Amino acid sequence: MPLAVLCGPPCSGKTSLAKKIADELSKMTTCPDGIEVVSDADIYDGSSFSRDAIYTNQNVEKQMRGRLKDQVTKSLTSSKLIILDAQNYIKGDPIYIIQFSYNSVAFGNVDSYENLTRRTFINPQRYELFCVVKAAKTCQCVIFINCSKERSVMLNSTSQLYSEETISALHDRFEPPQSAARWDSPLIEITPESIESFDFQQLNEFLSNSRALPPNLSTQNPPRQRAEMLYDLDKLTQRLVSEIFDKVSAAEIGQTVLITTDAQKESEKLKVHKKLTMPELQRIRRHFLNFYKSHSFKDPQQIPTVFLQFVNNAMI
């Protein structure tokens, strides 16, 4: 089952909405393992720090966010609906993707670079949750409670959970979700006044009909290869490297040579764009072997063709 991510400033009604969502969705959908609400209040109240102390200490705040993410990661399964009741606001420790005029990409502080042509800001906290959802092969929905600073201060006056300085600082740090960002989509935006009229049916449709997010390749275990297959691959690529080196060395630039790809003496064409040394071919072979270990080939007969493509790309 998916993850419903609530986000918004403090004292905006997230906890009340999370309880309503859990009650209403329990009537609309069937979850084999039920519905669980993961709340930042449980994490914070279980610590020895007050909320003001947490949000004025960067290290403590980071630890609390880590515990919250760990709880979501542990609880999120394909058979349980998780409702995350937290601010999910973080604007600190941003990741900037910076592209310069010469089309190179670097990471760092935007203000310290010149010739900047494009920049992209990623909200680390919601993006990390998005990656957790992808790794779990499920989906998510973001619910944003758009609450003004004045209303947060008014609601906080009864609970006294935060000082006015902390409320103001958290509002300034809050990074509103954007529906165009894949880690904030699909996005439902409401106000504290509209919580009572929240469309639970719409949320249920989002969570029920959304397709599971495809996991990143980096989060997947590479396919297991038979030991003899890796041995055969090593022999095959060594043979191809020797034949390519001999024929490319004897050919002229621009000529096409034929490389034998299998025992049936079938050949593939390889155009000589430049001469390759044996160390260069061995380096290409190592790159190909690493590529093969993280990818599976349905047809082993494709291996020589793909290897020749590696070589051809290296010569261009």
pLDDT, averaged across the chain: 79
pLDDT (tens digit, 9 = 90+) per residue, 11-60? 888 989 999 999 988 888 767 778 889 988 888 777 788 888 888 888 88
CB neighbourhood size of 272 (10 A): 20
Give me the mean pLDDT over the 58-84 stretch.
Answer: 87
Considering all CA atoms of the chain, what is the largest pairwise distance in Å, rounded to the nearest integer? 86
pLDDT category of residue 242 using cuts at 50, 70 and 90: very high
What is the pLDDT, as a whole number, of residue 183? 85
Can you spell out the DSSP letters for 248-282?
HHHSPTT-EEEEE-STT--EEEEE-SS---HHHHH
List C-alpha distances in Å: 286 to 226, 233, 248, 283, 310.
18, 11, 19, 5, 11
- Write out the H or E segment, with its range, that includes residue 165: helix 164-173
Q: Is the pTM higher than 0.85?
A: no
Q: Considering only CA atoms, which of 292, 2, 286, 310 is closest in space to residue 140?
A: 2
Statement: residue 68 has pLDDT above 60: yes
Q: Considering only CA atoms, which of 30, 19, 13, 10 is closest in space to residue 207?
A: 30
What is the pLDDT, as a whole number, of residue 189? 92
Name residue 38's beta-bridge partners. Answer: 84
pLDDT (tens digit, 9 = 90+) per residue, 7-17? 988 888 898 99
- Region of 248 (left: φ > 0; alpha: ψ -120 to 50; beta: rest) is alpha
pLDDT (tens digit, 9 = 90+) per residue, 160-189? 888 888 888 888 888 888 888 888 888 899
Statement: residue 111 has pLDDT above 50: no
- Comparing 126-135, 137-146, 204-213, which segment has the lowest mean pLDDT? 204-213
Query: Burial level of 316, CB count in 10 A (0-12/13-18/19+)?
Result: exposed
pLDDT category of residue 114 using cuts at 50, 70 and 90: very low
Statement: residue 197 has pLDDT above 50: yes
